[in-house]
């Protein structure tokens, strides 16, 4: 429901005030370039479900249109504005998209995984048994065949997670949204006053490390991730408004393009 509700909470302009199911159906058709609007009855049932879990509220506030009066108008609650709109700094929209693309399919195959003993990933996206390269060496007396893995299961999993033209950015934004929300709770439990440098392995956008520096301005951080991740991460950090991440904080954060599974010995120091 969270995924469908998030889609219904967009575009934000449609929710500037209250809106009827009929109006929202038209807005969604325009936004998604659909020639046919969704079922008003089906959409209204979803919206009432969202009311029951405090994502929406009903209101009689006029919509300011020529539509006939409709007592069933809906408006976003503070909870939905906080987590289900793309303009919120604590938006979970990207994580919900990732959950729908990947995690939901994994959980939906949990029963099959228990019955067969195969991983949920194999059940959902196909067998991740190691693909191999077979090499045959022949001498005058013997023939030797050697089989070695060609691509690791880990690499194939991330190929699936990163699928599509915007896959890497989509996954990074999903992780970023969770890190920004969890960072204050983590910092409340950690005393980092004695720490002067941090190496953030697989830090993606660096949202968690940035939060550490915002709380403890003396810390220098280096975020280690794959090249295709760090290129986007540096760009995303530069694009963060100075009101949210001041330049003084950004200056304490650096990125290093390293696969720490294979090149752990070349990770640079976080010290400037």
pLDDT, one tens digit per residue, over 116-165 is: 888 888 888 876 544 444 445 555 555 554 444 444 556 677 777 777 76
Question: Could you give the CA distance from residue 169 to residue 182 in angstroms, rounded to a whole number?
Answer: 20
Enter the CATH code of domain 104-138+153-266. Answer: 3.40.50.150
Question: Could you give the CA distance from residue 22 to residue 48 in angstroms, rounded to a whole number?
Answer: 14
Question: Could you give the CA distance from residue 43 to residue 156 in angstroms, rounded to a whole number?
Answer: 38
pLDDT, one tens digit per residue, over 217-247 is: 999 999 999 999 999 999 999 999 999 999 9
Whole-model pTM? 0.70
Mapped onto helix, strand or coil, the DSSP state of residue 135 is: strand
Contact 170, 153 (CB under 8 A): no
Question: What letter would DSSP give residue 169?
Answer: H
Q: So what's the pLDDT on residue 198?
A: 92
Return phi, psi of residue 237, to 5°: -70, -40
Helices (H), the chain: 2-8, 21-31, 40-52, 78-83, 93-98, 104-108, 110-116, 120-125, 153-161, 167-189, 207-215, 227-239, 247-250
Strand order in the sheet with 19-20: 19-20, 73-76, 56-59
Q: Using alpha carbons only, give the angle 89, 90, 93 rounded to the nearest 5 degrees.
A: 105
Question: Could you give the CA distance from residue 7 to residue 155 in angstroms, rounded to a whole number?
Answer: 31
Q: So what's the pLDDT on residue 121?
A: 83
Residue range(s) of every CATH 3.40.50.150 domain in the chain:
104-138+153-266
Question: Could you give the CA distance from residue 263 to residue 181 in angstroms, rounded to a whole number?
Answer: 31
Reading the block at residue 177, the tokens are 């949204």
State which residues of the chain have pLDDT below 70.
1-16, 33-35, 60-71, 127-155, 165
């Amino acid at each position: 429901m969270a995924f469908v509700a998030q889609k219904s909470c967009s575009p934000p302009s449609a929710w500037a005030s209250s809106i009827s199911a009929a109006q929202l159906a038209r807005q969604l058709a325009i936004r998604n370039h659909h020639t046919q609007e969704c079922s008003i009855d089906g959409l209204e049932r979803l919206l009432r479900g969202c009311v029951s879990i405090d994502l929406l509220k009903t209101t009689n506030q006029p919509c300011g249109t020529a539509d006939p009066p409709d007592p069933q108008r809906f408006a976003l609650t503070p909870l939905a504005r906080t987590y289900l709109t793309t303009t919120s700094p604590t938006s979970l929209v990207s994580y919900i998209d990732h959950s729908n693309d990947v995690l939901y399919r994994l959980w939906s195959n949990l029963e099959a995984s228990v019955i067969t003993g195969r991983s949920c990933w194999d059940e959902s996206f196909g067998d991740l048994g190691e693909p191999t390269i077979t090499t045959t060496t022949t001498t005058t007396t013997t023939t030797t065949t050697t089989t070695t893995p060609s691509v690791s299961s880990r690499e194939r999993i991330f190929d699936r997670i990163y699928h599509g033209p915007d896959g890497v950015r989509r996954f990074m934004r999903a992780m970023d949204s969770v890190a920004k929300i969890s960072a204050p709770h983590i910092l409340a439990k950690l005393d980092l006053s004695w720490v002067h440098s941090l190496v953030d392995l697989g830090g993606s956008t660096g949202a968690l490390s940035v939060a550490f520096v915002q709380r403890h301005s003396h810390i220098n951080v280096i975020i280690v991730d794959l090249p295709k991740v760090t290129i986007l991460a540096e760009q995303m950090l530069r694009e963060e408004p100075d009101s949210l991440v001041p330049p003084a904080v950004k200056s304490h954060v650096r990125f290093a393009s390293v696969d720490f599974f294979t090149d752990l010995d070349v990770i640079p120091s976080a010290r400037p």
